[in-house]
Structure 1
């Protein structure tokens, strides 16, 4: 499911997929804009949907989706 990982992301761990979603742990905290909450974030843990690395999701939004049973969203 994963697309090509952009060079600015140094992935150290790939977590098990949940539906179309996949979480990755990065080597260092990286700045990005969460596509769901539209906030600027800096984190080691990110989620992407359907292998699209141009649309990142923060861990908070990812957890909220899972808690609402929307992991297939």
Structure 2
């Protein structure tokens, strides 16, 4: 599957899934949260998700999962 960035005039680039950090991280179901994290395929999206989490909910388990995903992306 090819991933493309979508850029609009008034929006930050997002993955072709079109999910914002808020949409990825607002789920209350832990399985859905995990799925939303493992489907992050670029560092920029991951950085925006970390910034969102730090600014809004600051949940340490979610930040740890994001850190693990960052490690995985760097190794790829």
TM class by shorter chain equals under 0.3
Higher-Rg member (1/2)? 2
| Higher normalized strand content (fraction of residues) | 1
Q: Which has the higher contact order (CA 8 A, sep 6+)?
A: 1
Q: TM-score, normalised by structure 1?
A: 0.28
